[in-house]
Amino acid sequence: MTGASGVTGVSGVVVTTSKSASDAVRAEARRVADTWGLPLVERGKASVATVRGDATTALVCTEEGWVAESARGRLAFHQGTAAKRLRALRHGQTDPLVRAGELTPGDHVLDATLGLGRDALVAAWAVGRDGAVIGIEADFVLALLATEGFAGPIPRAGSAPVEVRRGDSRQVLAAMAAAGEGVDVVLLDPMFGGPRASDTGFTLAREHTVPTPLDPEWVALARAVARRWVVVTAERARDWFPDAGLERLEGTRSGRWFRARPAPAAAA
């Protein structure tokens, strides 16, 4: 399993199971609780709200996978909007992310704003078994759901492995740049600047998002690590985009896709 090494639990999160859980589900709940340093609460016949108690979120292990439940609703790792995009790619069509990053088999991609992992699922399929995808997620619950989700059956066969790291992507990018490390493409999508009503689960996911506004410094850090492109999705172009090297990707209906070449030092 990736992403959980050295992780300690956070307050406000407990692990439990579905009602009448099988031995396999109980064992999986115990494994995740131990791995992530979280308290395991026996479910019995109680409701999730009762089991959650004073905690903010209960991570519920079910036969179908993991679900995060709070007073506001439920959140699970699933393909979501990536399913349609992957279907199009399998039928020989293109995808704006794949086109913007010029992704090819064997590429290495860093998704600096992993969230629910939609772009990472698409990137992992596009770069294939010989490629690699790293996803950075600051929020504990989203990082756990993504780690367990990418280790399960949801990623398409033939996709690259996705390594989930919990942390601040700015710090990760700065450390990589200082060490002279690079990847082919860096993805930046601070996806909750506005509502995305097309994808269920985003309302609850918004509550778990660590808000980091897109700014020139973040793009500059990404350009210092990218060897080919920094791909940015934003609801609109900003006045500073040209100075940051960002240009709109032509030919996309939504007009939300932008990209920048590597910084000169990274490209040298």
Q: pLDDT tens for residues 13-50? A: 999 999 999 999 999 999 999 999 999 999 988 999 99
Give the HSE-up count for residue 254: Cα atoms under 13 Å, Cβ half-sphere.
11
Q: What is the pLDDT of residue 80?
A: 87
pLDDT at 5 over 60: no
**What is the model's pLDDT at position 181?**
95
Res. 120: pLDDT tops 90:
yes
Helix, coil or strand: residue 163:
strand
Q: What confidence category does residue 58 fall into, taking pLDDT thresholds of 50, 70 and 90?
A: very high
Q: Is the pLDDT of residue 203 over 60?
A: no
201 pLDDT more than 70: no
**What is the pLDDT averaged over residues 62-88?**
91
DSSP three-state, residue 175: helix
Long-range contacts of 215-219 (CB under 8 A, 24+ apart): 215/240, 216/240, 216/243, 216/244, 217/170, 218/112, 218/169, 218/170, 218/173, 218/188, 219/188, 219/244, 219/245, 219/246, 219/260
Residue 268, pLDDT score: 47
* Residue 52: predicted pLDDT: 93
pLDDT tens by residue, 218-242: 999 999 999 999 999 998 899 999 9
Domains of the chain: 13-76 (3.40.50.10480), 82-267 (3.40.50.150)
The predicted pLDDT at position 211 comes to: 59
> Could you give the angle at which helices 216-225 and 169-178 cross, rounded to 10 degrees?
40
pLDDT of 204: 54
- The answer, yes or no, to whether residue 205 has pLDDT greater than 60, is no
Q: Give me the percent of the chain exceeding a pLDDT of 70.
A: 85
Cα–Cα distances in angstroms (integers) from residue 146 to residues 5, 14, 101, 200, in the given order: 14, 17, 22, 16
pLDDT of the residue at 252:
60
Strand order in the sheet with 65-70: 13-17, 57-62, 65-70, 73-76
Each residue's pLDDT tens digit, 162-193? 999 999 999 999 999 999 999 999 999 986 44
When pLDDT is cut at 50, 70 and 90, the band that residue 209 belongs to is low
Mean pLDDT of 153-163: 93
What mean pLDDT is predicted for residues 80-93? 92
Query: Helix 140-150 crosses helix 23-36 at what angle (to 10 degrees)?
Result: 130
What is the percentage of the chain residues whose pLDDT exceeds 90? 72
Average confidence (pLDDT) over 68-91 = 91
